[in-house]
Amino acid sequence: MNPTTQRPNDPTNLRLCVRCILPETFPNIKFDTEGICNHCRQEESALAKAPAKKADYRRKLDDLIASVKGKAPSYDAIMAYSGGKDSSYTLKLLRERYDLRVLALTFDNHFVSPTAFDNIRAVTDALGVDHISFNPPWPLMKSLFRITARDDIFSAATLLRASSICTACIAFVKSLTAKTAIEMSIPLSAFGWSPGQAPIQSAIMKTNASLIRQNQKALINSLPDTVQVQMKSYFIPDIYYDLYKDRFPTNVHPLAFFDYDEERIKIELEGIGWKAPTNTDTNSTNCLLNAYANQVHLERLKFHPYVWEIANMVRQGVMPRAEGIEKIYSPQNSEQVEYARKKLEL
């Protein structure tokens, strides 16, 4: 039996939307007389048009790939590759469906599970993909994670979708991916975001230099002075916005518009040597910090940091509601929480 922690997130004590799984503790949520939340109501007309929109985006990706494939000096796409299920499947799609020259980049945050590294080796070998790993010094990452574990330094809107710890880590991933694409003239940057992580409108989008610049500035300003200077060197340097303005890649996250079925994805991946890890939490297949990040977020904000994403997936019909409830409202594994807490000396 799994060791478990306290349950600040126990669904038996919480009112949940009867359609998706958002809880009454989610900021500004309102339920109507049928028990359906305002987010579900707001999405109704967009969801009705989703099948046509997904087909449109698949055509759009086909056209985009036809226009860039084979033209860049070294690679057609850079893949932000965690070794988890979704990014592994996206990598497979880019290689097998589109036969792209892909460079896979893993951001090693010092909490990547050993199974994830085994999976990275197996999948990149099976698919014939070049792979690089980026590993910032542990003292910097430890300092950043300790800061983000103690305080919610990012905006309230950001913390609706991810924990403070995850947000800091993803900022590295996005910046390093964009920076490498710019430096190596790679036209596409791919992410394995699930259909619930971002709106479909962003699933194929040319990165906008001025927007990235302003976002990056806001993010760096959120950090304490002690790490700002060190962190800045990992972000896109100001000079790139003028010098390389034509090299900013187009972001793609195909899982937003391809059929998404977790079980089928796992079966397909097992065919190329990927194995489901047994030591990560219910919402990650690569990171040993995630359970702790979730626990800290839950204790402070009283809602799970993945609930927005999983609720979107339930609403879209790509995940059964019962499975969503299990993912979000199961207690965090206390051994995993303690592992991260000890490593961070908190």
Partner 1 sequence: MEQIRKQITEFITTNFLFDESITLGVEDSLLDTGVIDSTGVLELVAFIEETYGIKIEDEEIVPENLDSINNISLYISQKLSQLTADKAAN
With binding defined as CB under 8 A, does residue 147 bind partner 1?
no
Compute how many residues bind partner 1; rule: CB under 8 A. Answer: 30
Question: Binding to partner 1 by residue 211, rule CB under 8 A?
Answer: yes
Closest to partner 1 by CB, 119 vs 167, is: 167
Residue in 85, 92, 95, 161 binding partner 1, rule: CB under 8 A = 161
Tokens 């990547």 correspond to what residue?
112
- What secondary structure letter does DSSP report for 286? S
Q: Is 46 in the site for partner 1 (CB under 8 A)?
A: yes
Member of 1, 52, 157, 239 binding partner 1 (CB under 8 A)? 157
When asked if residue 218 is in the footprint of partner 1 (CB under 8 A), the reply is yes
Q: How many CA atoms lie within 13 Å of 124's alpha carbon, on the beta-carbon side?
A: 24
| Per-residue mark of binding to partner 1, 222-241 (x: CB under 8 A) | x-------------------
160 binding partner 1? (CB under 8 A): yes
Q: Residue 242, interface with partner 1 (CB under 8 A)?
A: no
215 vs 279 by CB, closer to partner 1: 215
Among residues 330, 325, 326, 291, the alpha carbon closest in space to that of 7 is found at 330
Name the one range near partner 1 by CB under 8 A: 207-215, 276-284, 286-294, 325-333: 207-215
Note whether 132 and 80 are within 8 A (CB).
no
- C-alpha span between 331 and 228 (Å, rounded): 34
Residue number, 200 or 272, with CB nearest to partner 1: 200
Query: Residue 142: how many CB atoms within 10 A of its CB?
Result: 15
Residue 64 makes contact with partner 1 by CB under 8 A: no
Q: Which stretch binds partner 1 (CB under 8 A): 60-68, 129-137, 217-225, 334-342?
A: 217-225
CA angle 50, 54, 55 (to 5 degrees): 120
Please report how close the Cβ of residue 19 comes to partner 1 at its closest, in angstroms. 17
CB 34 to partner 1: min, Å: 19
CA dist., res. 134 & res. 97, Å (int) = 27
- 202 touching partner 1, by CB under 8 A: yes
| 264 lies in the site for partner 1, by CB under 8 A | no
- The CA distance from 310 to 136, in Å, is 30
Among the listed residues 200, 231, 296, 340, the single contact to partner 1 using CB under 8 A: 200
Q: Read out DSSP for 224-283?
A: -HHHHHHHHTTS--HHHHHHTGGGPPEEE-GGGTS---HHHHHHHHHTTT----SSS-TT
- Of 181-189, 208-216, 236-244, 283-291, the segment contacting partner 1 by CB under 8 A is 208-216
Instruction: With CA atoms as reference, report the closest residue to 220 among 160, 177, 174.
Output: 174
SS3 labels along 18-54 = CCCCCECCCCCCCECCCCCEHHHHHHHHHHHCHHHHH
Q: Which residues sit at the interface with partner 1, rule CB under 8 A?
A: 27-28, 38, 45-46, 154-158, 160-161, 197-202, 205-206, 208, 210-212, 214-215, 217-219, 222
